[in-house]
Every structure is written in structure tokens, then in C-alpha cells.
Amino acid sequence: MSYSPLDPAIMRPGLPGSDGIVSLGANHDELYEDHRTYVAGAAGLRISETSASYVERLRFRLLGNLDDHALRIWVRWKVGTSGDGDVQATVGTETASANLTSMTYTWTSFNVSLTAATSPRNCKLEFRETTGSTIYVSAFVAYLVPSAPAGDGEYASEFRDWSNEHSTTQRAISSEHIQRLLRGPTQIAVDRPACLVSLHDDVTSPRTLTTTETTFTPVGAFILFAPDAGSRTYRITANLGQASTGVPHLRVSAGGRRVDFTSGIGWQTDGTSLVLRGPGFYPGTVALKRASGAGDVHAHSIQIHREA
């Protein structure tokens, strides 16, 4: 089924308002290019590094992104007197780095280009100081930097661009192209899950998300904004560690609900998730305990994503 508008710029196939089919198609493609999804970040870090070799200090996880958009990373850092520091990001199997010689806190950004088309991707930030001085890191932010749709075709996310060839006079507009406009926003949201909560601690020298207690002990807090009217699932991803033989258990609570992680160290994504009703703000807490063994246990990374 199709129709051929005499002037597609003024056609409104069943849609209210003044936007024509051409404008809707342009919005469709622009949304794909402009939706920069927040991935991870933390402020108030107190990381210092003196090693001349790269040392991992931060971890996070990138979900979705089957369309392989670049990941932009910002780091707020400085070096000591006559210092020369480097940061290296590893996202899945791809890496990128940046250099700093400023002795005052500075924001530095760089992109990691992605091609592997896998999900999820484990990510880490490593730092080194090559002159015998010290690097100081206080914050980082990571988000996706999409590219414009490359042409008329289907992407790994199943998104299909509009393409200008369908916006010319007397050109047939098929029902499939109308479906592109209807499905596009959902396909983008599914492939770029929004991270609403991001908590991180120093991997090498944990300071905050850590305990040696054998009962659940509060180690963090957050506010989760549930933007949707009605119920929505919020998926929790965590990375847990240990100083010795301690087995970490993690509990994340919000809105009168809680999710426990009891599988020990490493990356974990819960099987039940939080189901909350919005719109609204939900105070949340993070509790940690050593279930068995000896020594401190840690939560290196906790992220909560809105599922589309």
C-alpha cells in the first residue's frame, strides 16, 4: 500500500499538527543522530596514580549500542609538578587514550571508536604517569556520540533511516516507510538504554563502596527518577570485588523494592530488576556485606538503566 503526494511537504497522513511528511522524516533521522545517551560517570573521586605502567582505576559497562556509535569520555584530572599523564579507555576490545600535562584540574575528552557490534561491553579506565610525578583524577563522564544515518538501509538495531529519496514530488510513500517513523524512537531507545544511576569507586584503592562487615551495611545512596507514567523496569548492573577471600553480597533498594546480588565477584546483571511506577523520584540505597571469607569486599561499579 502506498500513496503519492503532489507536494509531500504539506501531507499529513493521519497525524495532527502542521508537520509534513518531509519534516517527520527529517526529525526521524535527526533523532537518531542527536540522541546522546548517558552511559556512566562519577564525581568526587580521589584517585591518585604514580605508576609508569597503566593501572586500572575505574570500571563500567556499556549496554546495547549494536549500531557501534563512538563512546565519548571526559576525565577531570591534573598532574603534579612537571608531570606527564595518560589515560587509556578500553571498551570491549577497542582502546583509545589521551594525554595531560596541566598542573591544574582540566576536563579532557576523547572518543573510543567501536566496531565489534556486541553487547554488553565491559569498560575500564587506566592511568599512568611517565615522569615520576602523580596523576590526580576527580571525575569522569561517558556517553554515546551517534553518527548521522549513512543511507537507506537497516542497522543492527533494526532502525531504518528515512532517506531524502522518499521526499520528492510524486514519489510513492509506502506503509513501510510510515512504520519506520512509528518504530524509530523505540528502536533507538532499546539500542541505547538510558543510565539513570551511576555509582563508581576506585578499583585499586576502594574508598566508599566497600566494607568488611558480615551484615548488610549501607555504603551508598542515590535518587532514581522514574520518568514514565505507569510501571517500568529498571535493570541493575554491578561489578563486585574482594581484597582477599571475602565473598561480596550486594543489595540495591528503591521504592520499597530491593534486588540482591549473591553470585560473588565479577560483573552481574540481576534477573528480576526493579519495577517502579512513575513519574516520580525514588530515594535508593546500596548495602554491602561479606557473606564469607576474609578481608574487605567492594562494589566497583553500580549502574541502573531504564529498559525501553
Q: Tell me the per-residue pLDDT of 21-70, one tens digit each, with 9 for 90 and over.
A: 777 788 888 899 999 999 999 999 999 999 999 999 999 999 999 999 99
Considering the domain architecture, whether residues 201 and 302 belong to the same structural domain is answered as yes
| Mean pLDDT (whole number) for 177-189 | 88
pLDDT tier at 14 (50, 70, 90 boundaries)? very low
Percent of the chain with pLDDT over 70: 89
Considering the domain architecture, whether residues 25 and 162 belong to the same structural domain is answered as yes
Predicted pLDDT of residue 152: 62
The length of the chain is 308
Considering the domain architecture, whether residues 291 and 271 belong to the same structural domain is answered as yes
Domain boundary residue among 131, 158, 191? Answer: 191
Domain boundary residue among 111, 145, 179? Answer: 145
Predicted pLDDT of residue 171: 64
Considering the domain architecture, whether residues 95 and 119 belong to the same structural domain is answered as yes
Confirm if 298 and 206 have CB atoms less than 8 A apart.
yes
Considering the domain architecture, whether residues 101 and 128 belong to the same structural domain is answered as yes
Predicted pLDDT of residue 165: 59
Domain boundary residue among 76, 111, 145? Answer: 145
Q: How many domains does the chain have?
A: 3
Predicted pLDDT of residue 150: 78
Considering the domain architecture, whether residues 154 and 140 belong to the same structural domain is answered as no
Q: What is the CATH number of the domain that holds 89?
A: 2.60.120.260
Considering the domain architecture, whether residues 162 and 123 belong to the same structural domain is answered as no
| Mean pLDDT (whole number) for 225-231 | 84
Residue 84 is part of which domain span? 38-145
Please, what's the b/e burial string for 124-152 (b: 16 or more CB within 10 A of its CB; e: otherwise)? bbbbbbeeebebbbebbbbbbebeebeee
Predicted pLDDT of residue 17: 40
Considering the domain architecture, whether residues 125 and 169 belong to the same structural domain is answered as no
Predicted pLDDT of residue 305: 93
Q: Tell me the per-residue pLDDT of 125-144, one tens digit each, with 9 for 90 and over.
A: 999 999 999 999 999 999 99
Considering the domain architecture, whether residues 214 and 183 belong to the same structural domain is answered as no
Considering the domain architecture, whether residues 102 and 74 belong to the same structural domain is answered as yes
Confirm if 163 and 26 have CB atoms less than 8 A apart.
no
Considering the domain architecture, whether residues 184 and 245 belong to the same structural domain is answered as no
Predicted pLDDT of residue 67: 93
pLDDT tier at 146 (50, 70, 90 boundaries)? very high
Predicted pLDDT of residue 20: 65
Percent of the chain with pLDDT over 90: 66
pTM: 0.88
From the centroid of its chain, how far is CA 128? 24
| Mean pLDDT (whole number) for 255-271 | 88
> Which of 32-41, 155-164, 230-239, 283-292 has the weakest average pLDDT?
155-164
Considering the domain architecture, whether residues 31 and 43 belong to the same structural domain is answered as no
